[in-house]
Structure 1
Amino acid sequence: MPQDPVDMVDDLIKMGLYKDSQLRAADRVNAHELRKALFLKQVGRGDPQREKLILALCKQAGGLENAFAAAFGPQAGLFFADSIRNSGTTRREFLRNMAVGAALVTLASCGGNGDPATQDAADAPIDPSALEKTDIQVGFIPITCATPIIMSDPLGFYERYGFNATTVRMPSWGAVRDSAIAGELDAYHMLAPMPIAMTLGLGSPTFGVRLASIQNINGQAITIAERHRGNVNGPEDFRGFIIGVPFPYSMHNLLIRYYLATGGLNPDTDVQIRPVPPPDSIAQLIAGDIDAMLMPDPFNQRAVFEEAGFIYMLTKDLWNGHPCCAFTASDNWIEANPNSFRALNKAILEAAGYARDPGNRAEIAAAISGRAYLNQPQEVVEAVLTGNFEDGLGNTQSVPDRIDFDPHPWQSFAKWISSQLLRWDLQGDGRVSEVITSDTFNSIGEEIFLTDLARELAEELGQNPPAENSREEQLAFDTFDPSDPAAYVQSQIDTFGV
């Protein structure tokens, strides 16, 4: 009888005791799914003996990450094939990892029915008994920024966490704000500045909203009407334009103001910035009601598709990694449904992690393009999500991070947004300077952006969120130091005159 476990595994394979289907299971379960199965279903149940066994198995594979990468990663099939073809040492490593993989899959599937080769461990249902509410409604605007919220319906993320969820398409951001205040739905897709504005009473009655996670980074563009082709080469050439943005308290409004000011334009006097619901933006561009727009996708790409305009600049070129939209819920709902909020946030974080993988983008585009969600041509949505697109100027672009899905709600995001709300005083009545001061930048972010909770939930999912809450943000024309937002605002005014 062989004493070396690897030799034993080799013999068991030769004897046919390890079935091909069992060996293939490790190929089919990817690292993300395995982490979910192990830590949510097994370790999360507080069984120290099971945790000890799992850690011992992973140690045999050379560490947790090695076990995941070698046995269950997206390239596992190639790894196994190469291992079989290569030397005895590599084969032994392969057999060791395969043994570990088979054991881990078996553990992850323990307690269920069926062959682990046919049961996807990640699809094991979450016990919903602790949830205060399982029948939920989540509001969204039909844009690609809402991808994690939308895709969680057809791809089963809500169901996995015990929810019977209905996604509710909203007509405008004003409708989202008003619906949240009225308590009509359970959770919402909002623009990242909206929870700050609503909680501080800017543009609406004071109403507490928490930003649970960022839905997307990048993913917007400045699109100019076809009739202005060849006439715009810099921010100074926007003088006299009517520019559409989706909402006053939006990253779109703050970013277009940031850009125009670098060309010496005063956004309040040298141009007109007009709120336009995203679904209406193409018609207004064609009709001449607006000359340009800084809008969420897929409407920039749809403008190219309809030959109504061209993509002048992606917002990632103004600030690579900037936040745009967010997953949110009101203070009232969170207080009444703490367990449901935690589980719902976790479902969204998991969906965002899935969407972040470029290999999943085409599948997601197919799932969310239909009438119930974005109601857009699939080729338009896929162009946005994959970053392979026509810009309307005769160029085929490849920008894989045109949109991305990093859910970490950095405190530096909250501080930059607050600094720009202060800079532009969108209400014009002095209210902003009363509630956003040098002393309140930190408290605003800490109260509204749930950074610590997002990190905790991401770690439970096996994701790798940043350990930090804040970071220096590099924009196209300056660098934002989150330690002194007030000084940043003053430096902008001193440099650009507005």
Structure 2
Amino acid sequence: MPSDPVEMVDDLAKMGLYKPDAFTIAQSISEAELRKQLFLKIVCKGDSKRERLVGDLIQLAGGLDQAFAAAFGPKAGDFFRDAQRTSSVTRREFLRNIAVGAALVTLTNCAPGGNKPDIGDTNVDPELTAKLEKTELKVGFIPITCATPIIMSEPLGFYKKHGLNAKVVKMPSWGAVRDSAIAGELDAYHMLAPMPIAMTLGLGSSSFGVKLASIENINGQAITVANRHKGKVKGPADFKGFVIGVPFPYSMHNLLLRYYLATGGIDPDKDVKIRPVPPPDSIAQLVAGDIDAYLMPDPFNQRAVFEGEGFIHKLTKDLWPNHPCCAFAASDEWIDANPNTFRALNKSIIEAAGYASKAENRPEIAKAISERAFLNQPTEVVEAVLTGKFDDGNGQTLDIPDRIDFDPYPWQSFANWISSQLVRWDLQGDGKAKTAIDGKYDEVGKDIFLTDVARELATELGQTPPDEIYKTETLAFDEFDPANPAQYIEEQIKKYDV
């Protein structure tokens, strides 16, 4: 047997002793480690204390890619290409690392408890596959637990089960997701529920037709406050003067934060500063004092507690039980060009959401999506979010099973509430939302939220989606009648004078 790891692993691969994706996974890990070492070598110049500090900041940001993208955006690729040319790491050494990494990947997958969960019959119908317009797909995602069905569908085999070789692509921010969607760089995307409405109507960007195909998660967010404010924040009025992070202007996070602050007499546009912050950068900004609090998707609320930097003030499920957050979306143009592929992709995600909705499956899902290629977070942090067994940073250990949940049904009443708040808050300050939406709530919702398609696919999977498309939404401070969104806005403004 050859002594060189590269030759040895090559022989073992030919013998069929490796999982097919072991080398792909190992290469991504090796490249990530190489990039990190290059960055530390060039930036820290041998200063061990500086290296530890930079390493901690990278960890807080959720990984080097997130930290570097947040700091330098598209210039990150240029930096690493230049750095790699000057590196002392040889191609042979790099290949050796990949070979050893592949061995470790395979050994890990063969270890006790390393088997994939049982997701049912995974045999693909050849007739179905033959109808697919394309099978090699790229689906963009932000590394947050809201994306669980989209992420888990790759490692757990839901995409493959429906005849697709779909790869999830980690994105640094929601702005990058929007821009990549418009540029046609992705086949489909993980989006915040308000984004398809905003993009289609040209709010915050040029008009670009996007459909919301299914809801990724309900609940799953929280308001987290820096520990330096512990004991001072009891309710919405106490946020006056704060700088508060949200992941994107057209997000449920921004709309729910504004809803909450207004009930305490806080004008979100005058009494606080609401700042867009990429989720992976949120903890670093909290630690640095750039923001005082944030309403963010998990796992970054729980990660702040884990790091001893913040406490969970309120779960968003307490503001609106079972509210929508993130969604699976694709452009009008892509859906029209790939109707069968779109249905297969949406169906795989709806099935994954159904699987994730079962509490007994969540510990295994947490292990699968915590990995470096996906969330890049400690498994115990992700598991705390998915199981609802968590410390809140205020000395309490809580058990809230629906802290996050997964129901893919895109209620039209969700669309109407979102639209009502886009009109109420006029985020662009030009009245465009009111012009585009007022008097056309049902029309806008039915054009963008594909409720009937989601119901049809869920029924094919044996799920039991509702027959209705509207329901009265009960929030913490009021009820929303989807038939009267304009009246709802008037009542909100009258009640809180904001």
Q: Deviations over 1:32-90 (max 9, x none)?
A: xxxxxxxxxxxxxxxxxxxxxxxxxxxxxxxxxxxxxxxxxxxxxxxxxxxxxxxxxxx
1:490 and 2:490 matched: yes
Shift, 1:398, TM fit: 0.2
Question: Over alpha carbons, which structure has the higher Rg?
Answer: 1
1:154 and 2:146 matched: no
Distance 1:163 1:123 in 2: 12
**Corresponding residue for residue 382 of structure 1:** 383
Shift, 1:441, TM fit: 0.2
Instruction: Give 1:171's aligned amino acid.
Output: P
Q: Secondary structure at the match of 2:245?
A: strand
**Corresponding residue for residue 344 of structure 1:** 345
Distance 1:242 1:428 in 2: 20
Distance 2:119 2:403 in 1: 32
**Corresponding residue for residue 145 of structure 1:** 146
**Corresponding residue for residue 293 of structure 2:** 292
Instruction: Give 1:455's aligned amino acid.
Output: R
**Corresponding residue for residue 234 of structure 2:** 233
| Equivalent runs, 1:207-356 vs 2, <5 Å | 207-356=208-357
Q: Deviations over 1:450-479 (max 9, x none)?
A: 000000000000000011101000000000
Shift, 1:121, TM fit: 5.8
**Corresponding residue for residue 123 of structure 2:** 124
Report the TM-score when normalising by structure 2: 0.76
Shift, 1:431, TM fit: 1.0
Distance 2:294 2:143 in 1: 17
**Corresponding residue for residue 165 of structure 1:** 166
Instruction: Give 1:356's aligned amino acid.
Output: S
**Corresponding residue for residue 469 of structure 2:** 469
Conserved in 2, the CA contact under 8 Å of 1:216 and 1:323?
A: yes
Distance 1:208 1:120 in 2: 34
Instruction: Give 1:445's aligned amino acid.
Output: G
Shift, 1:493, TM fit: 0.3
**Corresponding residue for residue 430 of structure 1:** 431
| Equivalent runs, 1:16-31 vs 2, <5 Å | none
Instruction: Give 1:398's aligned amino acid.
Output: D
1:478 and 2:488 matched: no
Instruction: Give 2:264's aligned amino acid.
Output: G
Distance 1:273 1:333 in 2: 34
Distance 2:223 2:466 in 1: 30
Instruction: Give 2:172's aligned amino acid.
Output: P
Distance 1:203 1:123 in 2: 41
Instruction: Give 2:266's aligned amino acid.
Output: L
Q: Deviations over 1:375-402 (max 9, x none)?
A: 0000000000000000001110000000
1:453 and 2:453 matched: yes
Distance 1:470 1:408 in 2: 11
Shift, 1:120, TM fit: 8.5
Which structure 1 residue ranges, 5 or more long, are not aligned? 1-118
Shift, 1:126, TM fit: 3.1
Conserved in 2, the CA contact under 8 Å of 1:415 and 1:482?
A: yes
Distance 1:338 1:234, change over 3 A: same
Conserved in 2, the CA contact under 8 Å of 1:198 and 1:205?
A: yes
| Equivalent runs, 1:366-405 vs 2, <5 Å | 366-405=367-406
Q: Secondary structure at the match of 2:327?
A: strand
Shift, 1:434, TM fit: 1.0
Instruction: Give 2:445's aligned amino acid.
Output: G
Q: Secondary structure at the match of 1:122?
A: coil
**Corresponding residue for residue 96 of structure 1:** none
Stretches (4+) displaced over 2 A: none
Distance 1:232 1:299 in 2: 19
Conserved in 2, the CA contact under 8 Å of 1:126 and 1:160?
A: no
**Corresponding residue for residue 83 of structure 1:** none
Shift, 1:432, TM fit: 1.2
Distance 1:207 1:367 in 2: 34
Q: Secondary structure at the match of 2:476?
A: coil
Shift, 1:122, TM fit: 1.4
Shift, 1:217, TM fit: 0.1
Q: Deviations over 1:185-241 (max 9, x none)?
A: 100000000000000000000000000000000000000000000001110000000
Q: Secondary structure at the match of 2:121?
A: helix
| Equivalent runs, 1:48-59 vs 2, <5 Å | none
Q: Which stretch shifts more, 158-167 or 186-195?
A: 158-167
Distance 1:121 1:433, change over 3 A: closer
Distance 2:481 2:286 in 1: 37
Distance 1:130 1:423, change over 3 A: same
Distance 1:389 1:126 in 2: 42
Shift, 1:125, TM fit: 1.5
Q: Secondary structure at the match of 1:243?
A: strand
Distance 1:126 1:303 in 2: 45
State the percentage of identical aligned residues: 72
Distance 1:302 1:327 in 2: 25
Instruction: Give 1:365's aligned amino acid.
Output: A
Q: Deviations over 1:271-305 (max 9, x none)?
A: 00000000000000011000000000000000000
Q: Secondary structure at the match of 1:467?
A: coil
Distance 1:281 1:227 in 2: 16
| Equivalent runs, 1:7-156 vs 2, <5 Å | 122-127=121-126, 128-156=129-157
Instruction: Give 1:126's aligned amino acid.
Output: D
Instruction: Give 1:351's aligned amino acid.
Output: A
Distance 1:433 1:149 in 2: 33
